[in-house]
Chain A
Amino acid sequence: MDAAPLFIDHLTKYYGTLCAVNNVTFTINKGEIFGLLGPNGAGKTSIISTITTLEEPTEGSVSIFGHDVTKEPQLAKMLTGCVPQELVHHGFFSLEEILGIHSGYYGLYHNQERIDYLIDKLALNRHKHKKVKELSGGLKRRMMIAKALVHSPKLLLLDEPTAGVDIELRSLLWDFVRQLQQEGVSILLTTHYLEEAEALCDRVLFLDEGKTKLIGEPKHLIRELTEREVVMVLKQPVAPISHPHLVNQTDHQLVFRFAATKSMGELISELPLETRGIQDFIIREGKLEDAFQTIMRGQHHDG
């Protein structure tokens, strides 16, 4: 079982003449949380839909642990759980009944132990006898996560799991996602919240208009694509300084902005200052969001 949990191979998807996914290739490694990022309409959900076979690829292929999703869908689906972006309502059944039915689809007849575990883990105990329409948005979202996990999948697809979710639930979900990762589950996460991607993902892929813009580890991307802001707090005012990275100077502060690849020692040595005159440093690191902005502006090739 050495095949990658998910391998997207030169995937292209057209809807009529609209190209939603354009020759995208990536692999998710075992136990990795992989973020698929991009603006609305970038092609994130189209990729998820081809993985779950809701859509057929126009070109290219998707395989899950070596099983091509169009050729061996049953085997691929047994290993995958998916939390779709849009909420699913089940008219007639209670939350617990839905989890039981969903287990049955995977051939699990006696699955109460796992169901109880998930209900407990996602704090759904008080609501398990309610019908879906009686649940709030956040509870519905949690139910869908439980549903995706009834068969203990090895690959989990989360399509914007925290969209419209409050802070408390978001942190509960983040913890749970991290725990799943520790249990060896590989996770594909699409999100609008770059803060979320930065906090959770081992690697991210930026997608724009269906094309791969960049793949990498968040901390590397931040290092390479963003500038850090360094505020030097001075004991006493100094004469006006001229330096290429200096963006602002006041009596007690010098504000610099420069690439994270440049060292602090380098900066200090370039300044006509006595180190004893420096009271303090305030460093603001770049965020994934800044890297994202840089990429979307297409500036990463220049610098």
Chain B
Amino acid sequence: MMAKTTLIPFWTIFMREVRRFLKVIFQTIATPLISSALYLLIFGVSIGHEIDVGKGISYLAFLIPGLVMMTVLRNSLENAVGSIVTSKFVGELEDLRMVPLSTTQIVWGNGLAAILRGLLVGVVTLGVGYLFFWFVNEQVFPLKYPLFLLVFLLIGGLAFAHLGLAICMLATNFEQVSAINTFLLLPLIYLGGVFFSLDQLHPFWQVLSQFNPLLYMVNGVRYGMLGVSDVDVGFALSVTVITWIICYALAVWSLKKGSYKRW
């Protein structure tokens, strides 16, 4: 009975989302493949020699973990956003309201599928990073603390998946979704320590950056790969977990209070 009412509906949503992105697997994989290759080529290889991030590591090594985390976060978010936005446009979300699904089933089904896509694309990005690192340094790119790495990727990705769900549930039109993306998420991502070390910033931005949860997620991943971080790793983990809990609560709340009506 437990399986019938709890697990099967959850599994159905999860698999529906997975099948949805598998149907567009080429775009899913190819887009981040090209963009991360370009980032690595331009920033990591071409102008990377000019940049000193300290800590005894090359800019290319510094950049790879940041790119992986950025890719995971963006894809997790985009999967959740894509799913809800299209469902709102075609009226499918009204269907979701009529069937006996609980908010927990929707939040987890949607969230885990999103993080699965995030991780899949993250692995591809890491693979590209590996290749670049090999060609430039003729060394294998290190993965010092894989468990740490996985924890940061999973919790960070899940947080962004839940955030994407919440944004779309609360938005009353598509413009609101893209506005949040442009005015909130993009600055957070680009000022989250993906492309530069905290030490390189003006003191004003250093202080401001410390309020950006992405800084902690990106540095957690960098620690998992390289064993270096701009911030204390324990603190980074706490911030990441707290961010996830807030996003989860927001997603649950949005499903209860948000609109299922079609756009």
Interface of A toward B, CB cutoff 8 Å: 52-54, 73-75, 77-78, 80, 82, 84, 86-93, 97, 101-109, 147
**Lowest 9 A-B CB distances belong to which pairs?**
A104-B12, A77-B100, A105-B99, A107-B4, A89-B90, A88-B91, A74-B100, A52-B98, A107-B8
Q: Are B99 and A54 neighbours in the complex by a CB distance under 8 Å?
A: no
- B99: contacting residue among A90, A91, A93, A102, CB under 8 A: A102
Q: Which one of B16-24, B202-210, B230-238 is at the A interface? A: B16-24
How far is A74 from B8 in the complex, measured between Cα atoms in Å? Answer: 14
Q: How far is the CB of A252 from chain B (nearest CB, A)?
A: 59
Q: Are B94 and A54 neighbours in the complex by a CB distance under 8 Å?
A: yes
Q: Are A77 and B99 neighbours in the complex by a CB distance under 8 Å?
A: yes
Q: Are B19 and A89 neighbours in the complex by a CB distance under 8 Å?
A: no
Q: For residue B100, which residues in chain A have a CB less than 8 angstroms away from its CB?
A: 73-75, 77-78, 105-107
A100 nearest CB neighbor, chain B only: B12
How far is A107 from B20 in the complex, measured between Cα atoms in Å? Answer: 20
Q: How far is the CB of A163 from chain B (nearest CB, A)?
A: 15
Q: Are A74 and B94 neighbours in the complex by a CB distance under 8 Å?
A: no
B14 nearest CB neighbor, chain A only: A104
Q: For residue A107, which residues in chain B have a CB less than 8 angstroms away from its CB?
A: 3-5, 8-9, 100
How far is A84 from B98 in the complex, measured between Cα atoms in Å? Answer: 10
Given A88-B90, A107-B4, A107-B5, check contact A101 B12 (CB 8 Å).
Answer: yes
Cβ of B39 under 8 Å from chain A: no
Q: For residue B260, which residues in chain A have a CB less than 8 angstroms away from its CB?
A: 54
B22 nearest CB neighbor, chain A only: A92
Q: For residue B90, which residues in chain A have a CB less than 8 angstroms away from its CB?
A: 88-91
Q: Are B19 and A92 neighbours in the complex by a CB distance under 8 Å?
A: yes
How far is A77 from B100 in the complex, measured between Cα atoms in Å? Answer: 5
Given A74-B100, A74-B102, check contact A89 B91 (CB 8 Å).
Answer: yes
Q: For residue A53, which residues in chain B have a CB less than 8 angstroms away from its CB?
A: 97-98
Q: For residue B8, which residues in chain A have a CB less than 8 angstroms away from its CB?
A: 104, 107-109
